[in-house]
């Protein structure tokens, strides 16, 4: 192999290697990483929203349960008052 051929072969290899590294589409890699990061942030936000909604639903369910208990207790008191009024009216 002649030294000149070897020189061109090595130079073309370095040139191809350099251009492939330089134009390896780092933008698309950066874009892909940015998009992945953005989708990760969106996913985290959605998960947080679902957790917040779940907490709100649990809170509403607790309030509804408490409201129902208080309503039943109040209705029981009203029934007791009516019963006692009826008993007094019979005297």
Please give the residue range of the domain that contains residue 47: 3-90
Assigned token pair, 55: 């907490």
Whether the per-residue pLDDT at 11 is higher than 90: the answer is no
Whether the per-residue pLDDT at 9 is higher than 80: the answer is no
Instruction: Indicate the DSSP class of residue 2.
Output: -
Assigned token pair, 63: 């309030």
**For the segment 25-76, what is each residue's pLDDT rounded down to a tens digit?**
556 788 889 999 999 999 999 999 999 999 999 999 999 999 999 999 999 9
Looking at the structure of the chain, the number of domains it has is: 1
**For the segment 13-27, what is each residue's pLDDT rounded down to a tens digit?**
555 555 445 555 556
* CA 71/CA 53 separation, integer angstroms: 26
Question: Full-prediction pTM beyond 0.75?
Answer: no
């Amino acid at each position: 192999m002649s030294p000149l051929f070897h020189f061109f072969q090595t130079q073309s290899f370095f040139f191809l290697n350099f251009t492939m590294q330089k134009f390896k589409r780092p933008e698309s890699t950066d874009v892909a990483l940015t998009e992945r990061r953005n989708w990760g942030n969106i996913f985290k936000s959605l998960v947080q929203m679902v957790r917040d909604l779940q907490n709100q639903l649990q809170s509403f369910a607790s309030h509804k349960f408490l409201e129902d208990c208080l309503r039943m207790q109040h209705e029981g008191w009203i029934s007791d008052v009516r019963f006692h009024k009826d008993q007094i009216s019979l005297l």
